[in-house]
Amino acid sequence: MDLKLNDKIVVVKGAARGIGRAIALEFAREGANVIVNNVIDASETLMEIKKLGKESMFIKTDVSNMNQVKQMFNKVAKNFGRIDVLVNNAGVTRDALIQKMRVEDWDFVLNVNLKGAINCCKCAATYIIEQKYGRIINISSIVGQMGNVGQANYAVSKAGVIGLTKALALELARYGDITVNAVAPGFVSTEMTRRVPEKNYEDVYRENTLPQAGRAGGDRLSRCVPSL
Ligand SMILES: NC(=O)c1ccc[n+]([C@@H]2O[C@H](COP(=O)([O-])OP(=O)(O)OC[C@H]3O[C@@H](n4cnc5c(N)ncnc54)[C@H](O)[C@@H]3O)[C@@H](O)[C@H]2O)c1
């Protein structure tokens, strides 16, 4: 199936590893040029995209910092001329039961997962509205829909991402062929979930549509992530 992604300009946040890296590579395989964002080094993803014959650029940015995000989008626009797709994938966890959750844990998770998505949507919207075309894909989580013990901060951030998605889908549609969607993955085996104690796995699998964890990059993502 032709997904009509050839030479589209795609920005993937948090693409150094895990789900973000798999998304970035899949876009490149479908013919898109992919800008790789991360707060840590993501040059391996960049090299793999280039090996696939597509243009790429690594921009080191902390998405929770609005000034850095503005600079990132300016750089993308200057070098590629447009922004067709934004994937808000960067995410973090700082799990603890509510009594033990520190204010810093709330702030950190909300700042990266929710404020990071808001910052990037805000900056991308300027270009997308002008182009009258764009796709924003926000990576939420099944935890944002169902909650999870020890993840109040993460659940709030991912539920917030769903609210952000719904509001912007309505707001931006009036400007042209612009869509804003969210994907809420179940349990995927990545660096993030390696920290989840094994005894919690059984409950997580029960919540999933598949009887085992998805693998970022191993399975085609469409097989392991139910979309909203
Ligand atoms: N793994 C799962 O089971 C699962 C399930 C549902 C949703 N998700 C979501 O999928 C997304 C990817 O998660 P993953 O499992 O691949 O985890 P991961 O930890 O492997 O990847 C997250 C990436 O985000 C980057 N990042 C963190 N803070 C950042 C910041 N401030 N600025 C830019 N980049 C930053 C990290 O460096 C990392 O590369 C996250 O939003 C996560 O919440 C994961």
Place of tokens 């085996």: 189
Q: Is residue 182 within a helix (H) or strand (E), and if so which, with residue range?
A: strand 177-183
Q: Is residue 4 part of a domain?
A: no
- Interval between CA 118 and ligand 1 midpoint (Å): 16
Question: Which spans in the chain are helix H?
Answer: 18-29, 43-51, 66-80, 103-109, 116-131, 142-146, 152-173, 201-207, 221-224
- Mean per-residue pLDDT pooled into runs of 10, the chain (228 residues): 94 98 98 98 98 98 98 98 98 97 98 98 98 98 95 98 98 98 94 76 62 65 36
Comparing CA positions, the residue from 119, 1, 2, 9 lying closest to residue 63 is 119
Range of the domain at 158: 9-220
Position 227 in a domain: no
Residues recognised as catalytic:
154
At residue 73, the pLDDT reads 98
- CA-to-CA separations, 145 to 16, 166, 193, 194, 228, in angstroms, rounded: 26, 14, 18, 21, 10
Cα angle 100, 104, 108; round to 5: 120
* 2 within some domain: no
Is residue 18 within 6 Å of ligand 1 at its C-beta?
Answer: yes
CA 117 to ligand 1 centroid distance, Å: 12
What tokens appear for 84 in the block? 């067709």
- For ligand 1, the distance from its centroid to the CA atom of residue 18, given in whole angstroms, is 7
- Give the per-residue pLDDT at 50: 98
Give domain status of residue 116, yes or no.
yes
How many structural domains comprise the chain?
1
Query: What is residue 224's predicted lDDT score, i.e. its pLDDT?
Result: 37
* CB of 17 closer than 6 angstroms to any ligand 1 atom: yes
CATH number of the structural domain spanning residue 150:
3.40.50.720
